[in-house]
Amino acid sequence: MHELELIQELKNGNEQAFKFLVENYQDRVFNTVIGIVQNEQDAEDVSQEVFIQVYKSIHSFKGESQLSTWIYRIATTRSLDLLRSRKSKKRFAFMQSLFSKNDELSIDIPDFNHPGVALEKKEDARILAKAISRLPENQRIAFTLNKLEDLSYQEVSEIMKTTVSAVESLLHRAKQNLRKDLEKQL
């Protein structure tokens, strides 16, 4: 189904069009969300919320960007909303869990399980996931969309509502920060 036809059918309330949309975007949405929230259950919940929001707000989609860009933007926003609400609700407990009794940093992400990661690479993926989770928010989003979802700088800039040069800068800093962080791990 062509994108313009899909959008029109969605606006007409066609259930088959919505089913087609979910089938074609669910993996991309889930992979984007889990790259940001790094918890499988939360990623499933947020992914469902993304499609509910798409269904409810398709009439407000003006076609100023590609449908996929709009969906990625919703997924990113929903993921960040979850992280922000989690932080505000659990800030004190979060700070306590970050540090062991010796005031040493002790972050554990046992739930992180990104699809497509080979079994023998899971430990490396867990270490990388920890490092990604420590990136500043905008760097983490840019890195997730570009490196894990393989979106172009232009697509990332549209999703993040920023310039291509700002995305390049975010990715450069993210790579530097990850390199420093991972060198400490080795």
CATH number at residue 155: 1.10.1740.10
Give the start-end residues of each E strand in the chain. none
Which residue segment(s) compose the domain that 86 sits in?
Answer: 3-185
Domain count within the chain:
1
Whole-angstrom distance, CA of residue 115 vs CA of residue 30:
9
Whole-angstrom distance, CA of residue 104 vs CA of residue 98:
8
Residue 179 banded pLDDT, cuts 50, 70, 90: confident
Rounded to an integer, the average pLDDT of 5-24 is 94
8 Å CB contact between 73 and 159: yes
Residue 75 banded pLDDT, cuts 50, 70, 90: very high
The predicted model scores a pTM of 0.68
pLDDT in the model for residue 130: 84
pLDDT at 101 over 90: no
pLDDT in the model for residue 74: 95
The total number of residues written for the chain in this structure: 186
Closest CA to 145 of 117, 164, 122, 127: 164
Whole-angstrom distance, CA of residue 178 vs CA of residue 134:
9
**Alpha carbon distances (Å) from 88 to 81, 85, 92, 93, 115:** 11, 5, 9, 10, 29
Query: Three-state secondary structure along 93-108?
Result: HHHHHHECCCCCECCC
